[in-house]
Structure 1
Amino acid sequence: MLKYKAGKGEKAMIVVGVGVGPGMLTEEGIRAIKKASAVYGAKRAIELAQEYITCEAKTIKDYKSLHLLPADAVILSTGDPMFSGLGKFAGENDTVIPGISSMQAACARTKVNLTNLCAITAHGRDFEPAKAELIQELRNGRNIFLLPEENFGSLEVAKILKELGIEAELYTCENLGYPEERIAKGSPDNPPIAETILYGLLVVQKR
């Protein structure tokens, strides 16, 4: 049974992770969506949850104005809200319901253990901080799951690996969960090339 708490007179937003692809929405998320009196999200997030939405669903146009939405609004976030998702906008009294992230799905497909994995995102921002973090974590012996940027993806990461003298397997993971899902494997000398801009990159160091 779901219980959402808010302080007296305060609005409580519910952020639901709808998963990275079809069929990856949790039962907890489904219950929250079915109970919702107002649902908001990006077009793809709404499509992933459509069969469970019983009220009007509206597309979010300004993510910085989420706090202005109606009390107890359900906000849909693709993947997991706390992995480069809308969970970052949740306040102390809001509720975040996890979803299956692109990182989880990619690791399941490639059978890579999550316990030595560092999640890094460069998507939609200056990639230099992500690059610096990636180099540091590679030197620490960590495997990497990267959400790339257009100018910082598999080719750039392969170059870094060669400069560091690190042997690794690289996987580009596209459209996870969809019929057109595509996972390509390569190496620093022959890196896989993604066919779309939106993909996840796994870097698995050879021990």
Structure 2
Amino acid sequence: MSSPVIPQPVTVVGIGADGWAGLPDTSRDALRAAHAVIGGERQLRLLPAECGAERVPWPSPLRPAVPKLLAEHAGRRLAVLASGDPMFYGIGRALAETVGPERLRVLPHPSSVSYACARLGWPQEDTEVVTLVGRPLASLAAALHHGRRLLVLSAVAGTPRDVALLLSGRGFGRSRLQVLEQLGSDRERRLDGTAEDWPHAPGDPLNVIAVDCVRDPAAPRLGAVPGLPDAAYEHDGQLTKRHVRAATLAVLAPAPGELLWDIGGGSGSIGIEWMRTHRSCRAIAVERDTARAERIARNAASLGVPALRVVTAAAPAGLAELETPDAVFIGGGLTAPGLLDACWDALPPGGRLVANTVTLESEALLADRYRRYGGELVRLAVAHAVPVGGFTGWRQAMPVTQWSVTKAHGDPQASPAPAVPEAGERA
């Protein structure tokens, strides 16, 4: 009877553009001792002949291949080569999720971000990093704020040109770009220019883009908190307006890593601004109208959150296969049979539900749920100053009734509605 194969620890070695010469003895010893080394073809070419291990290039796509490759080499001394720091936007994450952190031995190398900040004299803690490796170019837009410094991890040699075009199209054409190639090697090169007149042809694919953000004076200013100007959205009138939107996001209370269902997405503003609060926030917009669903996707890309998922379906039928949400917002379709109950049932304990309406029929539904489940029922009223002849007066927008509630732990219902004070009693 053969003995079972005991999985060996996986050693992950970070390597820089300077190759073998830049590795410390610990990393070199690990590579020499390995039976097999897995890595990208570029990294594997950096190894000298004295590393006699079998060299296994990653297939494409990489992520699905990780479990299979590790299983094929179980019982052997296995090393994985990675660019720079394997735990910083690198293969280390996939490996930790596959074999568990206790089976990893990570030997990091300085990352391209560390090198770039050293060359530029930028404090790393004050520099935001955006990766475009395997991610849409549009995701950069959410990080654009006047005066901020960004380091953009390039996907290919042409990424700097694409970044310059995006900056120019988003009103940041005056931003200074510095492209740092082959950081840490004897082939380092720096290219300089502005986004609006970027003069350089695509160079080395191993590059990092440093951006000094400068907003054009005529470009709209988009802040970092909910309540973007209504003009930031393409819409057909189905838009949660700015002040109500800010109040709605406040009670939805997004936190890193959480998932929102935005039911009756309209123009997508609630889901978009939920995702803009933190790069790990996720949202699913459910919209039955095809034209509006397409518009939501365009707005999401324009405002830097292209990962927002749009489901073109009517609710509640379109909710059946969705991942469990942390919060639900209902901005339309409240009177659809079963919608409120389906959203409530989908929430886990501690999940939040917020619903807005301007109609009496939907308001009656929210008042009923408020009596049953508690929470907070408020009316939001906004008035705008407008010309009245040669003077100025107030124009009242339609008041919005809003119900917000948190599902109680250990109980399918939330706390009951608070008692209404009797006449003469202090509220």
Bucket of the pairwise TM-score, normalised by the shorter protein? 0.7 to 0.9
- Structure 1: state its 5+ residue gaps: 1-7
Picking from 144, 167, 170, the partner of 1:138 is 144
Is residue 2:97 matched to residue 1:88?
A: no
Residues 1:31 and 2:40 aligned together? no
Instruction: Give the alignment's TM-score, normalised by structure 2.
Output: 0.40
State the match for 1:70 in structure 2: 74
Count residues in correspondence: 194
Q: Tell me, what secondary structure is at the counterpart of 1:144?
A: strand
Residue 210 of structure 2 is aligned to residue 202 of structure 1: yes
- 1:189 is aligned to 196
Partners of 2:38 and 2:81 within 8 A in 1: yes
Q: CA deviation at 1:82?
A: 2.3
Q: How does 1:6-155 map to 2 (within 5 A)?
A: 9-22=6-19, 23-50=21-48, 53=51, 55-62=52-59, 63=62, 64=65, 65-68=68-71, 69-71=73-75, 72-91=77-96, 92=100, 93-123=103-133, 125-128=134-137, 131-132=138-139, 134-139=140-145, 142-150=148-156, 153-155=159-161
Alignment RMSD, CA only? 3.0
Query: 1:142, CA displacement in angstroms?
Result: 4.1
Equivalences for residues 174-185 of structure 1 within 5 A: 174-185=181-192
| CA displacement, residues 87-109 of structure 1 (integer Å, 9 cap, x when unaligned) | 13313122222112222222222
- Give CA deviations for 1:23-70 in whole Å, capped at 9, x if unaligned: 4324432232233343332333233342762x3231324341332223
Bigger RCO (CA 8 Å, 6+ sep): 1
CA contact (8 A) 2:157 2:203 kept: no
Q: 1:156 to 1:76 in 2, by over 3 A?
A: closer
Q: Secondary structure at the match of 1:90?
A: helix
Query: What's the counterpart of residue 5 of structure 1?
Result: none
Deviation for aligned residue 1:117: 1.9
- TM-score between the two structures when normalised by the length of structure 1: 0.75
Q: CA deviation at 1:177?
A: 3.3
| Shift in Å, 1:166 | 7.3
SS of residue matched to 2:88: coil
**What is the letter of the counterpart of residue 160 of structure 2?**
S
- Answer whether contact 2:157 2:206 (CA < 8 A) is retained: no
Contact 1:184–1:192 (Cα < 8 Å) also in 2: no
Offset, 1:202? 1.4
Structure 1 residue 156: Cα displacement: 3.3
Shift of 1:172: 1.1
Deviation string 1:3-25 (CA, Å, 9 cap, x unpaired) is xxxxx944421111112333432
Contact 2:36 2:79 in 1 (8 A): yes
Q: Which of 152, 176, 198 is the equivalent residue of 1:169? A: 176
Q: Which residue of 2 aligns with 1:4?
A: none
Partner AA of 2:181 in structure 1: E
Maintained 8 Å contact 2:44/2:57: no
In 2, Cα distance between equivalents of 1:75 and 1:50: 15
Aligned to 1:3: none
Query: Aligned partners of 1:114 and 1:12: how far apart in 2?
Result: 32
Counterpart AA for 2:74: P
Shift of 1:73: 0.4
Structure with the greater alpha carbon radius of gyration: 2
Question: Alpha-carbon deviation of 1:165?
Answer: 4.2
Could you tell which deviates more after superposition, 178-187 or 139-148? Answer: 139-148
Contact 2:174 2:196 survives alignment (8 Å): no
Q: Secondary structure at the match of 1:106?
A: helix
